[in-house]
Amino acid sequence: MATAQNILSFLFLHLFFVLLVSNIGNAKGLRLGYYHKTCPSAESIIKKATYQVISRAPTLAAPLLRMHFHDCFVRGCDGSVLLNSTKTNLAERDAIPNLSLRGFNVIDAIKAKVEEACPGVVSCADILAVAARDSVSMIHGPYWEVPLGRRDGRVSILNQVFAELPAPFANITQLKQMFAAKGLNMKDLAVLSGGHTIGTSHCLGFVNRLYNFTGRGDTDPSLDPNYIVKLRQKCKPGDTTTLVEMDPGSFKTFDEAYFTLVAKRRGLFQSDAALLDDPETKAYVILQSSTKGSTFAKDFAESMVKMGRIGVLTGNQGEIRKHCAFVN
């Protein structure tokens, strides 16, 4: 019996090691200038197309950043969030947390332009990673070099979203576990949460904090009572359509104001408030809020590169989709 247990333990550890090495190995398959020979104009085409969109509709920067995040956290950065559901499979984009994603048409349009120049060369996963970077930099956020070479996945499963994507209702323990599972640490958690400096949320994402937090008609004690009064003016119970700015006053501009809000207990989501429940993430919030985001831009760039390496497919894995919403 003991021998059997030892064998099972060994096999489990071996499998874990193989998966870990495989994941790291795949990430090493990414590199700067990946399309230098095969599609030298790829990044400039993506940048130009993204600029044409963001210059007209700067509020689309947040959805493109969010889409990249949602893609990477489920099955890795493989463009699986872009796939349509089929008659036999419900895809990630139809999961409740993804129903509010916007910008699929933007990625499809950019892909079409890239395909005109270099058919069958540049993946949708890479296009999304670059477009997210470009859109952030175009609204006064940081710029970072994006290592490329991701391949597109052929699988997209709705139910995996709930297991792998951090929810706005998550507490600090859940957030720690979910980020650690992706190879991200506590600093990455605090830094990437700062992406909430741009964009909006439906009331549904936080209305429980305003009216019925524990099922007794109460409010969330971790949320500033004065802010609750303001939010109640915008969101009534059962409201599923109203949009609220995550960073009121500068939701179209990438800045450090998010951390000042969280420090004042005015983060919109429970997952924002949770950053004050851990010494390391709380220290980061206080640092950025008290120094006008002294290191936030640099830190965000570094964490985005790190996130962009999660579970990537490289080499001969996956495929290069012709259309981002469909497998070949």
Reported for 43-46, long-range contacts at CB under 8 A and 24+ positions apart, including other chains, are 43/130, 45/110, 45/113, 45/114, 45/117, 46/110, 46/114, 46/127, 46/130, 46/131, 46/134
Whether residue 198 contacts residue 268, with contact meaning beta carbons closer than 8 Å, is answered with no
Token pair belonging to 197 = 């400096």
CA atoms of 323 and 328, how far apart (whole Å):
8
Q: Which residue blocks in the chain are alpha helix, DSSP H?
A: 2-28, 42-56, 61-73, 104-117, 124-137, 158-164, 172-180, 186-193, 208-211, 225-234, 257-263, 270-273, 279-290, 296-307
Catalytic residue among 36, 70, 140, 196: 70
- Write down how long the chain is: 328
Helix (H) or strand (E) holding 243: strand 243-245
CA atoms of 189 and 46, how far apart (whole Å):
28
Whether residue 92 contacts residue 80, with contact meaning beta carbons closer than 8 Å, is answered with yes
DSSP SS3 for 152: strand
Instruction: Tell me 98's DSSP state.
Output: G
DSSP SS3 for 75: coil
- Our measurement of the distance from residue 231's CA atom to the centroid of its chain's CA atoms, rounded to an integer in Å, reads 25
Cα-Cα-Cα-Cα dihedral of 51, 52, 54, 57, to 10°?
A: 170
CA atoms of 48 and 173, how far apart (whole Å):
41
Active site residue 68: no
β-pair partners for 243: 202
Catalytic residue positions? 70
